[in-house]
């Protein structure tokens, strides 16, 4: 059986992770002869649903409890969706994964070493794409979208998250994990083309 490929998309809110994950799924299905399996974190599962309610302000958890919920949702996601899809030979595309926890939860005041310990059972992606977009540009994009903001979608918060992402990316690379930084300020098509080229390289 052909091995699956595990791809994660990361970046600040407004960087375009959802758009690029969706476009990559379309590319995989149309151009590679493989099947995509697209999902996102937090998931729509029982744990992810509670996270979404918290991010939208419906309920409140302290930062460490929220970090634990993200880790639990991730393990559930792996068990329910990611591992079965990889075993079937699919190209698994996840809109946000462990790097988001290392960046967002650390920026929310959670200890970085503890974050890594509670996520150490989560399988590493074969490649992670970090869409590099400055916080100010992300805020403009979020405003243009016209949607509501969650607890992390504010300029000062995104600046802290950006710094935490930089540290997390360096740590991932030091651990031997493949993280590609992509200039996300360019056109959607230009970013998609760069990602597709890497996916082709790894298939």
pLDDT grade, residue 146 (50/70/90)?
low
pLDDT tops 80 at residue 151: no
Compute the distance between CA of residue 191 and CA of residue 48 in angstroms, rounded to an integer: 28
Mean pLDDT of the residues in the chain: 93
Per-residue pLDDT at 3 = 87
Query: What pTM was computed for the model?
Result: 0.93
pLDDT (tens digit per residue) in 79-112: 999 999 999 999 999 999 999 999 999 988 999 9
Neighbouring residues of 40: CB distance < 8 A, sequence distance ≥ 6: 18, 21, 94, 95, 96
pLDDT grade, residue 2 (50/70/90)?
low
Q: Name the one residue in this structure whose structure tokens are 């595990």.
A: 6
What's the average model confidence in pLDDT over 13-24? 96
Query: Which domains can be identified in the chain, with CATH numbers?
Result: 5-202 (3.40.50.300)
Per-residue pLDDT at 148 = 47
pLDDT grade, residue 165 (50/70/90)?
very high
pLDDT tops 90 at residue 4: yes
Compute the distance between CA of residue 47 and CA of residue 50 in angstroms, rounded to an integer: 5
- Which of 16-20, 68-72, 155-159, 177-181 shows the lowest per-residue confidence on average (mean pLDDT)? 155-159
pLDDT grade, residue 147 (50/70/90)?
low
Percent of the chain whose pLDDT exceeds 70? 95
Q: Do residues 101 and 70 touch, judged by C-beta distance below 8 A? A: yes
Q: What is the DSSP letter of 79?
A: I
What's the average model confidence in pLDDT over 157-178? 93
Per-residue pLDDT at 57 = 87
Closest CA relative to residue 192, chosen from 14, 1, 72, 28: 28
Cα 130 to the chain's mean position, in Å? 8
Q: Which residue has the higher pLDDT, 120 or 143?
A: 120
pLDDT tops 60 at residue 64: yes
Q: Which helix (H) or strand (E) holds 129?
A: strand 127-132
């Amino acid at each position: 059986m052909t091995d699956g490929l595990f791809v994660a998309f990361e970046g600040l809110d407004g960087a375009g992770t959802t758009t690029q994950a969706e476009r990559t799924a379309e590319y995989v299905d149309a151009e590679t002869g493989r099947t995509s399996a697209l999902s996102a974190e937090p998931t729509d599962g029982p744990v992810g649903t509670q996270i979404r309610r918290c991010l939208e302000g419906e309920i409140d958890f302290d930062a460490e409890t929220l970090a634990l919920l993200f880790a639990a949702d991730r393990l559930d996601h792996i068990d329910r969706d990611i591992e079965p899809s990889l075993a079937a030979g699919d190209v698994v595309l996840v809109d946000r994964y462990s790097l988001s926890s290392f960046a967002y939860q650390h920026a929310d005041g959670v200890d970085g070493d503890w974050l890594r310990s509670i996520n150490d059972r989560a399988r590493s992606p074969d490649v992670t794409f970090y869409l590099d977009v400055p916080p100010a540009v992300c805020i403009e994009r979020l405003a243009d979208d016209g949607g509501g903001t969650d607890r992390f979608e504010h300029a000062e918060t995104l600046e802290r998250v950006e710094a935490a992402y930089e540290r997390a990316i360096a740590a991932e690379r030091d651990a031997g994990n493949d993280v590609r930084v992509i200039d996300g300020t360019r056109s959607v098509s230009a970013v998609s083309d760069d990602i597709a080229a890497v996916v082709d390289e790894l298939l």
